[in-house]
Chain A
Amino acid sequence: MANKGETLLEVKGLKTYFHTQEGVVKAVDGVSFSIARGEALAVVGESGCGKTVTALSVMNLIPDPPGRIEEGEIIFEGRNLLEMNDREIRQVRGNHIGMIFQDPMTSLNPVFTIGSQISEAVRVHLGLSRGDARQRAIELLRMVEIPQAERRYKMYPHEFSGGMRQRAMIAMALSCEPKLLIADEPSTALDVTIQAQIMELIGRLREEIGLAVMLITHDLGVVAGVAETVLVMYAGKVVEYADIDRVYYNSRHPYAWSLMRSVPRLDEKKDRLLTIGGSPPSLINLPPGCSFSPRCPFAEEVCRREEPPLREAEPGHLSACHFAADFEQHGQGVKA
């Protein structure tokens, strides 16, 4: 996290709660991070950890009610998005920040052609004429490597395969040359060979147009190939935040540490996988102290009593664990 370039997006103390009949769901509870120009940040965590809600908050797309951004600042290129009115925010969304989702089929309108959906975006945001918008849309389809772009322009979403739909979504998200692309599980619904194509494409676009990427995923493998920085979330909070090599090789939080060891790997033969007991807690009724303590193999009494703050375990490496500073020794001691 040292030597970061100029900051593009900064999120400070974001709290997004959902007010439901069962109680207040603290989906995102005090999350802070920043993305520099051209940087790729991965937000990693299991379902329900708040990673998608974080992304939707940045885009100001939280359904209200029941959701509400209670606190925090989202500063994009020096301006707080949370203080903007609807018109201003629409300018940012689409023009400066593009977003793609896990399931491209639900994000595309089935009754309009792919081409008309992309050209609509460029006409609205860039004010191009019909003809120019069409040209631009075809160019975009070429950029995301859709073969026979002119012919595909006239086709409907159902005539596209899953991988092609995701490419079309990327084309649409990039239509106004945004500086930041938020990708929410962009390859999860796709087969591995197609996933590799899409991740390769995102990597290439980063190099070519200097795009910053916020990649949201549960797949530790996908992250490894793309991200420079990793933000690990658990139960609505950031538990670890550092550059990728630190998180992967020198994790200072037992959640990330155990998660790395619990995934089967293609390049290793293992007899037993490490397991994390239990399941993620309910966000309405969090355990006292550290939310991970009931599942933590190294937890001690203090963990069940006091919530550990997110602080530097070493320069540029944030961790929310009472034993972050001497995590390795602590872990070794308990394991033995």
Chain B
Amino acid sequence: MAALVEVRGIVKHFPVGKGIILSRLGGTVKAVDGVSLDVEEGKTLGLVGESGCGKSTLARLMLRLIRADRGEVIFEGRDILKLKRQEMQSVRRSMQIIFQDPYASLNPRMSVGSIIMEPMAIHNEGSKQERRRRAVELLTLVGLQPEHFTRYPHEFSGGQRQRIGVARALALNPRLIICDEPVSALDVSIQAQVLNLLKELQERFSLTYIFIAHDLSVVRYISDEVAVMYLGKIVERATHDDLYGNPRHPYTVALMSAVPLPDPVKERERKRIILEGDVPSPIDPPSGCRFHTRCWKRQEICTVEEPPLEERAPGHRVACHFPENTP
């Protein structure tokens, strides 16, 4: 299968001001620092990492919601970072995003109907009647009722709002949807509803997802492939089964070990790898391998030489000098 999206060496550094006035530059936050990845059509790539690792920035770069400093984003065969405004506009209908906070991402002054019709209006799709019909159809598709059309976001619960966000993302029949932590603000019993909905929609419309989350359990459920990010870089990339069955990067191993299992017997027997300290600042990331300050396998070389993201087994890429589970 061909890749629907391909990112090559994308870089985004944000300048940070020192003192009260921003003009005195105090360095740059290396939010995304040379990331390459691709996603096949109809598949889901899970993007995992802790807060500040750059996963949301990467998503916004891929949609060109923010400008990349360097790199390419190939979508449907074209580098969208080089497109003119108008050309970009037509590409945008094929790429949509669902946001984390269903309270902040819906305009409280717009009715649900107009929220869902807005993308169609922007892209001049159909007549008013057609848009209305489509919006009602979308409401039913995401498990809401046609009579919700005239209601306002505050009348809905978190899970229902996220469904509205999904309906809006689907309005223009996109090929790619980036889901940026779509369930982390929802209650446990509601998460499953939204996750199942996303899976069903994917099967029905062969959608391609990039699913960003900090929760490895959620990513395991939804993804075909998983990329793990740490301080602006991808440290491991593998298929779902390989990554969960055979994690190779020490950070991935530690991350999985930290996830609590809803299983008391397993929890009692479990030996945890507890990482020391916090994630270092992306303004001044550690030399060599960025994970070396917290890694229990670190050697001399890790502090000086950055390990490249290399294929250590078929389809399994790791950026580590001394990967785990590798002969």
Contact = CB atoms under 8 A, between A and B. Distances in A.
Interface stretch (A17-25, A136-144, A186-194): A186-194
Contacts of B255: 192-193
Interface of B: 50-51, 157-160, 187-193, 195-196, 199, 214-218, 220-222, 240-241, 244, 254-268, 270, 272, 274-275, 278-279
A98 B214 CA distance: 30
Given A221-B260, A275-B196, 13 more contacts: A192-B215, A193-B255, A193-B275, A224-B261, A224-B267, A259-B188, A262-B191, A263-B217, A266-B216, A272-B199, A273-B192, A273-B195, A279-B187
Nearest to B275: A193
A199 B272 CA distance: 11
B264 A197 contact: no
A274 B193 CA distance: 8
A222 B275 CA distance: 17
A191 B214 contact: yes
Nearest to A47: B187
Given A161-B278, A192-B255, A264 B221 contact: yes
B305 to A, nearest CB: 24
A220 interface: yes
Contact of A279 (B190, B244, B268, B272): B190
Contacts of A275: 189, 192-193, 196
Nearest to B50: A191
A46 B278 contact: no
Contact of A266 (B51, B189, B261, B265): B261
A307 to B, nearest CB: 21
Nearest to B257: A196
B245 to A, nearest CB: 10
A222 B264 CA distance: 10
Contacts of B196: 272-273, 275
A267 interface: yes
A245 interface: yes
A221 B188 CA distance: 12
B267 A194 contact: no
A200 interface: yes
B274 A200 contact: yes
Contacts of A258: 189
21 contacts: A46-B188, A191-B50, A191-B279, A193-B275, A196-B257, A197-B274, A218-B187, A221-B217, A221-B261, A225-B267, A225-B268, A249-B264, A262-B189, A264-B217, A265-B261, A265-B262, A266-B220, A266-B256, A272-B196, A279-B159, A279-B187
Contacts of A197: 274-275
A196 B260 CA distance: 8
Contacts of B241: 269
A299 B268 CA distance: 34
Given A259-B188, A273-B195, A192 B262 contact: no
Given A191-B214, A192-B50, A275-B193, A267 B261 contact: yes
A192 B264 CA distance: 18
A332 B193 CA distance: 22
A156 B263 CA distance: 39
A248 B268 CA distance: 14
A276 B189 contact: yes
Contacts of A279: 157-160, 187, 189-190
